[in-house]
Structure formats: structure tokens, C-alpha cells
């Protein structure tokens, strides 16, 4: 796969850095990142770092080495260990990077940034990194909103959802008086192979590609953690489970990329952000658009509310806020009537999944910690489910006993 040298182009409304990817079969894709003209001077065209990171997984699954003109020294040095890791995760042999020149560039960037979606993770990162207790060197002074795949793979819907979110993020940035840099892209167009199609399995790489096309702006950038650091595993379905293993290898002389708050679970983050009035005005956790695209036929409707109040992100946030006793403060952002109708089923789901899903385990711990009690209907649902589990449990127990006996006889 040959990546052409990045070039910058301008229009009255955007500035774009782009590179043409040429595959071994001759197919070509123009890949771009674009921002508003005021941030044009920060787009990096001197090295292909952002495009190399974007190309890693497509090149891996198609078994093609990557050829570029220029790469920064850090990324060149780290390419092989990175591809060894992704090769293990996705089950493909590693590929190589071939660069005509390895460059050491110092852009002297000044900004400390983080993405702002309005979700629990991004609010937690923003509030932690603008608080008095945060050392000045680490304080966030720029916000960003990236369209690098989080909005799905349909270019029309993606663009609409990104611009809706951008309006929300800009409103927040104005209120807290911090500049916000929008970054649009067509990155999803290169992830058509089924093994790398969904955003969750390439999320950290796509965000990092977006960050490194702005190496002239960001000296440090925080990617909010999605779970705690100890939940690490090599999951080919969710890159955030193992991002702590590789994100340091995506850093360059200019830009440090860090995973923020890997020591707080979601409940702890929710507790912390509920202390700020900004949360009551701006909390936006809804994942309905992506869920609707991923699971065709299953549709979550927002019905005029900011958050749909029925997708998995909405309901786990609502249940947590409910247990923390602050639900009424969010009446203007969620459809609470919809939530109350779902609540018994959500409590049952929390109980059923408390040993298999760390988010549900955290909420169950909060349930016990706050002294909440099951209502008679919730208890009835739980007992019914437990009765249904009895035959399964007996079957597994018998299977285990038989296995032990067989091993004793034949081993
Ligand atoms: Zn939702």
C-alpha cells in the first residue's frame, strides 16, 4: 500500500490534509482530515504519521506493507512492535513500513487537548484536567471534536450526526471559554474489511491518527479511558481494552497521547461529574445512532429528547444517576418516563450480568453501597430468572463432575 505525500488544500470553509492510498490491486482511496481555516496552520504535511496510523489495520488485513516518503523517527521506531501486537489481536502476520526518509521534526506545539462529546468519560476528563488540583502543565486548554469513525460508516448520516454534535460541543466550549477544534475526516471509507469494519475495534488508532495530523497544535492529548486499567485484555472487538499497551508507542517528539482517568470506573466518574453544574446542562451519552446502524432493525428513538433514554449507554447512565439520587436534575435531557418503564428490566439485567459485564458489576456495587432495595416486582423477576437458571446450573455441574471422573479413569 503506497501512501502519497500529504498535501494541504484550502477552501473558504475548510482546510484539508490528504493522502492517496494505492493498494497492490491498483485501487485508490483519497483519505483526508479537515478542519476550519483558522486551524489550517496546524495540519501536518511534512510526515505521513497520521495516515500511517490510519493505514495500519487495512494494510494488516490485506497483507500489504506500507510505503511512504516521510515518517517521524518515533513512529518509525515503534512500527514493528505495534504491528506485532495488532497482528496477534486480529490474527494476521505483521506487515512492514518502508519510508524513504525518517525525520526528526520539532514543531514546538503548545496546546493540551481532549475530545469533548458531552459523555461521562469526556466530561470527567475535562473536569479533572481543568480543576485547581491538576498541575498547570497538564491542564486542558483546547477541546476537540473528531469525526474519525465514531459516527458510523454511512457518510451521509455520519456527517449530519457530527455536525449536530459539533453544535453541542461548540456551545459548551463557548460557555467554558476554551477553543474547540473540529476535525472531520473520511477515515471510515478505508475500513470496509469485515474484521475492521466497526469503530470499537479500531477506535484508539483512529483517534490517534486524528491527533497526529495536528502535531503542530497538541503537545499533549488525553483520550478518555472507557474502563479501568486492570480490565486489560487483547480484544479484537474493543480496542479500548488493550489501548494502554500501545498508546505510548503512538507518541512522537511533538505530541504525547495519554489515556486519562484509567483508575476511575464509570460509576466513580459519574459521581465526580455530578458535582459540576456543567454536567446538568451538557450531559450527552446517547449512542442511539451508532446502535441503530450496527444492529439493523433495532431502533432507538430520541422523540425530541437530547438522549434517547433507551440505548445501552443512556440506560446505564440513567440507572447510575438514579441510584445516586439525582435523576430529577436531568429531566430536560432524558425521557424519564421511558426510563421508569424500563427500570425493572434494567435492574434485572444488572443482576443477570453483574458477573460478566464490568459496567453492570460497578452499578451493582453502587446498588449495594447506596442501600437500594429490590421492589417486589424486581424480586419476582429475579426469582423467576434464577428458577430458569437451575437446569442450566445443574447441567454444568454434572458436566464438570463427569469430566473429572473421566479424567481420573483415563489419565
Ligand atoms: Zn441513547
- Residue (of 227, 126, 133, 244) closest to 180 by Cα position: 126
What pLDDT score was predicted for residue 400?
82
Coil/strand/helix, residue 15: strand
Coil/strand/helix, residue 102: strand
Q: Where are the beta strands (DSSP E) in 127-242?
A: 142-146, 180-185, 218-224
Res. 296 pLDDT band, cuts 50 70 90: low
CA of 312 to the centre of ligand 1 (A): 7
Res. 297 pLDDT band, cuts 50 70 90: low
CA of 288 to the centre of ligand 1 (A): 5
Write out pLDDT tens, residues 182-240: 999 999 999 999 999 999 999 999 999 999 999 999 999 999 998 899 989 999 999 99
Q: Which residue's entry shows cell 493505514?
A: 55
Considering only residues 406 and 174, tell me which one the structure prediction assigns the higher pLDDT.
174
Residue 160: pLDDT over 90: no
Residue 131: pLDDT over 80: yes
Res. 395 pLDDT band, cuts 50 70 90: confident
What pLDDT score was predicted for residue 276?
96
Mean pLDDT of 79-96: 98
What pLDDT score was predicted for residue 304?
87
Res. 298 pLDDT band, cuts 50 70 90: low
Q: How far apart are CA 30 and CA 354, in angstroms?
A: 45
CA of 44 to the centre of ligand 1 (A): 36
Q: What is the grid cell recorded at 34?
A: 479537515
Coil/strand/helix, residue 346: helix
How many percent of the chain have pLDDT more than 90?
A: 85
* 328, containing H or E segment: none
CA of 343 to the centre of ligand 1 (A): 15
CA of 32 to the centre of ligand 1 (A): 30
CA of 114 to the centre of ligand 1 (A): 23
CA of 333 to the centre of ligand 1 (A): 11
Write out pLDDT tens, residues 328-371: 999 999 999 999 999 999 999 999 999 999 899 999 999 999 99
Q: Which residue's entry shows cell 421492589?
A: 375
CA of 234 to the centre of ligand 1 (A): 28
CA of 325 to the centre of ligand 1 (A): 20
Write out pLDDT tens, residues 234-249: 999 999 999 999 999 9
What pLDDT score was predicted for residue 233?
94
Q: How far apart are CA 197 and CA 407, in angstroms?
A: 43
CA of 45 to the centre of ligand 1 (A): 38
CA of 302 to the centre of ligand 1 (A): 7
CA of 218 to the centre of ligand 1 (A): 31
Q: How far apart are CA 59 and CA 4, in angstroms?
A: 15
Considering only residues 156 and 245, tell me which one the structure prediction assigns the higher pLDDT.
245
Q: What is the grid cell recorded at 122?
A: 469526556
Res. 41 pLDDT band, cuts 50 70 90: very high
Q: How far apart are CA 195 and CA 104, in angstroms?
A: 34
Res. 24 pLDDT band, cuts 50 70 90: very high
State the chain's mean pLDDT as an integer.
Answer: 94
CA of 305 to the centre of ligand 1 (A): 10
CA of 353 to the centre of ligand 1 (A): 20
Mean pLDDT of 167-180: 96
Distance of alpha carbon 247 from the chain centroid: 13
Q: How far apart are CA 131 and CA 126, in angstroms?
A: 9
Amino acid at each position: 500500500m503506497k501512501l502519497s505525500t500529504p498535501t494541504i488544500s484550502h477552501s473558504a470553509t475548510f482546510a484539508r490534509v490528504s493522502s492517496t492510498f494505492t493498494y497492490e490491486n491498483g485501487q485508490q482511496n483519497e483519505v483526508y482530515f479537515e478542519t476550519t481555516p483558522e486551524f489550517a496552520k496546524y495540519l501536518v504535511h511534512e510526515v505521513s504519521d497520521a495516515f500511517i496510523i490510519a493505514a495500519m489495520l487495512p494494510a494488516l488485513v490485506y497483507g500489504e506493507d506500507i510505503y511512504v516518503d516521510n515518517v517521524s523517527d518515533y513512529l518509525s521506531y515503534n512500527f514493528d512492535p505495534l504491528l506485532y501486537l495488532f497482528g496477534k489481536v486480529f490474527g494476521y502476520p505483521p506487515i512492514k513500513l518502508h519510508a524513504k526518509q525518517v525525520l526528526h521534526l520539532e514543531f514546538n506545539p503548545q496546546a493540551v487537548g481532549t475530545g469533548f462529546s458531552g459523555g461521562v468519560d469526556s466530561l470527567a476528563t475535562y473536569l479533572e484536567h481543568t480543576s485547581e488540583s491538576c498541575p498547570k502543565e497538564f491542564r486542558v486548554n483546547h477541546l476537540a471534536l473528531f469525526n474519525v469513525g465514531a459516527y458510523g460508516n454511512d457518510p451521509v448520516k455520519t456527517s449530519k450526526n457530527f455536525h449536530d454534535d459539533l453544535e453541542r460541543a461548540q456551545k459548551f466550549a463557548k460557555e467554558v471559554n476554551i477553543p474547540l477544534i473540529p476535525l472531520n475526516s473520511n477515515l471510515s471509507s478505508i475500513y470496509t474489511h469485515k474484521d475492521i469494519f466497526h469503530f470499537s475495534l479500531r477506535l484508539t488508532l483512529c483517534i490517534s491518527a486524528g491527533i497526529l495530523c495536528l502535531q503542530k497544535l497538541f503537545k499533549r492529548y488525553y483520550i478518555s479511558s472507557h474502563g479501568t486499567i486492570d480490565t486489560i485484555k487483547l480484544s479484537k472487538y474493543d480496542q479500548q481494552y488493550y489501548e494502554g499497551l500501545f498508546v505510548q508507542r503512538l507518541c512522537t517528539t511533538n505530541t504525547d497521547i495519554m489515556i486519562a482517568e484509567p483508575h476511575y470506573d464509570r460509576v466513580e466518574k459519574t459521581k465526580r461529574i455530578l458535582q459540576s453544574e456543567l454536567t446538568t446542562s451538557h450531559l450527552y451519552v446517547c449512542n442511539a445512532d451508532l446502535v441503530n446502524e450496527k444492529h439493523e432493525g433495532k431502533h432507538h428513538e430520541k422523540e425530541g429528547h437530547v438522549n434517547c433514554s433507551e440505548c445501552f449507554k443512556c440506560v446505564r447512565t440513567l440507572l447510575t444517576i438514579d441510584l445516586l439520587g439525582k435523576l430529577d436534575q436531568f429531566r430536560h435531557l432524558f425521557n424519564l418516563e421511558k426510563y421508569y418503564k424500563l427500570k425493572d428490566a434494567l435492574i434485572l439485567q444488572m443482576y443477570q450480568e453483574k458477573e460478566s459485564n464490568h459496567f453492570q458489576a460497578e452499578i451493582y456495587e453502587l446498588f449495594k453501597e447506596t442501600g437500594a432495595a429490590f421492589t417486589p416486582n424486581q424480586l419476582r423477576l429475579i426469582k423467576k430468572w434464577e428458577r430458569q437458571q437451575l437446569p442450566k446450573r445443574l447441567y454444568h455441574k454434572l458436566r464438570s463432575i463427569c469430566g473429572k471422573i473421566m479424567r481420573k479413569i483415563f489419565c
